[in-house]
Copies of this chain bind each other. A is one copy, B any other.
Amino acid sequence: MSTPAEADEFHVYDTTLRDGAQQEGLALSVADKIAIAQHLDDLGVGFIEGGWPGAVPKDTEFFSRARTELHLRHATFAAFGATCKPGSVAADDAQVAALRESGASVVTLVAKSHDAHVERALRTTLDENLRMVGETVRHLRSSGQRVFLDTEHFFDGYRANRAYALEVVRVAAEAGADVVALCDTNGGTLPRELQDIVRDVLESTGARLGIHAHNDGGCAVANSIAAVEAGCTHVQGTINGYGERTGNADLLAVVANLELKRGMQLLPPGRLAESYRIAHAIAEVTNVPPSNRQPYVGVSAFAHKAGLHASAIKVDPDLYQHTDPALVGNDMRMLVSEMAGRASVELKGRELGFDLGNDRELVSRVTDRVKEMESRGYTFEAADASFELLLTEEVAGARPSFFDVESWRVITESRAEGEAVSEATVKLVAGGDREIVTGEGNGPVNALDHALRSAIERAYPVVNKFDLRDYKVRILDQGHGTDAVIRVLIETADGEGSWVTVGVGHNIVEASWEALVDGVTFGLLRHKEDVR
């Protein structure tokens, strides 16, 4: 049985590589784009808009390399570009030629559909714009490519001059465009109005319609769904909602909503469950920290502060979640939070692979210890690794330890010129040897991190794989100035995964040291086989 995508009934069209890359601070190399395209194909989208060959040199290179380096199983590449210029002949237009010769079997042409944009930005007449649209579509169709048309600023244009906006859609469809995607380019249209407009366009033109929504009003996902309900059979969006300003429609949220809440089948069977993995893998490539609160795929999307509901959640999790997180590859997580109770400690333990259910005394001991530590400022909500070290200690009777710290010191001083410098000295015994190591850094914790890892690398070379990836500081009892309790969270990674540890104290350097030592210890525990 063919999927709707195979049967061309519904298009999941990804524009992460083109419109997503417009995001402030996001810059993709050709290698990045190839890595992302591979992930998108794994996800099973129907179309991957690769960029604008001919206009952007990196995109020209991408299309040429993609032809040999990528073997897509699901997706078809689309080349993005513009119609021919005012006054030019489509067949002679260099930019159109680059699209024709890109090797992409689909070309997505952007065209103006808002009268003011035609006259003031494009500086041509409304009729000439229609000629450009019709002629470019016909030319590319005659060269054997499928053509989709993106109507820029469509909804604003419709409000300003409905007849003209509709005419652009009609001209494109009559010239052979398979899909006319209505773009809410400025992103401020609200769902009800957008749905009414889509219905009118569909009735007035009969064209096959798509939707391309931006999130300026916070409604991009809802707008995409509203458009599909009104009859669009082609949805554009980006992974993690990347895009200019507030971003594009978050494609995974749109697809998950349509599959899980509307019963549509848009991706190949089983692919939706790859959402979590692929969203995070793509975030690794873009180097944009993923939002924990992102619908469906955020780390917190199915996380519950247990509290009062813990026991009810344990009995019947479906009462407390809108969908089964496994369907998008995510997981329910119980947060060991303030007011931690036995139930949440048990649940958390199970999540980490410890079955505590039969040892009531152990659960009580862990619960009491978590409560006591939380009252001093610790939090285990984010610091899974510290919680696991604590559990291991209570289960095994001793805390895992790979080295004995004798002392540490860090000096930070101003320099006559330029930035201050920090220098740390760590004395410890690791693998039977006493080590005294000094490390520099551009801050006290950076220096301590360098010194600590240098001091144990002879005994445990695997620490060279560890990378201190994120460092967070929270002043707890604000209002106490620098005498407050400080909580530090450190995320350490080893190329395969990452883990978070916590340290607490009045002294920020000491709290950081505690989290650093736990971070390294947990990492060594993960690599037990490399640690003799």
Contacts and interface: CB of A to CB of B under 8 A. Distances in A.
B217 A295 contact: yes
Interface in A215-249: 215-219, 221-223, 225-226, 229, 241, 244-247
A457 interface: no
A29 B449 CA distance: 31
Interface stretch (A169-177, A342-350, A477-485): A477-485
A305 interface: yes
A250 interface: yes
Contact of A338 (B27, B116, B481, B505): B27
Contact of A478 (B22, B309, B470): B470
A27 to B, nearest CB: 7
Given A191-B226, A244-B304, A419 B322 contact: no
Contact of A508 (B287, B443, B449): B443
Contacts of A126: none
Contacts of A507: 412, 419-422, 442-444
A88 interface: no
A393 interface: no
B412 A509 contact: yes
Nearest to A473: B473
Contacts of A479: 29, 31, 287, 289, 469-470
Nearest to A311: B121
A382 interface: yes
17 contacts: A24-B303, A24-B381, A121-B312, A153-B319, A187-B322, A190-B261, A192-B225, A218-B250, A407-B416, A411-B411, A414-B510, A419-B507, A420-B507, A443-B482, A443-B510, A444-B509, A472-B475
A252 B436 CA distance: 55
Nearest to A299: B24
Interface of A is mostly: mixed
A510 B412 contact: yes
Interface residues of A, number: 121
A312 B112 CA distance: 14
B301 A245 contact: yes
A422 B217 contact: no
Interface in A413-440: 413-414, 416, 419-422
B293 A245 contact: yes
A212 B229 CA distance: 24
A197 B322 CA distance: 17
B475 A186 contact: no
A291 interface: yes
When A and B form their complex, which 6 residue pairs have the shortest distance between CB atoms, in order from nearest?
A188-B322, A222-B222, A409-B413, A218-B221, A446-B482, A218-B295
Contacts of A221: 217-219, 222
Contacts of A187: 322
A22 B410 contact: no
A300 interface: yes
Contacts of A477: 29
A451 to B, nearest CB: 12
A171 B412 CA distance: 66
A32 interface: yes
Contacts of A303: 24, 244-245
Given A216-B295, A245-B293, A246-B300, A410 B412 contact: yes
A320 B116 CA distance: 11
A64 interface: no
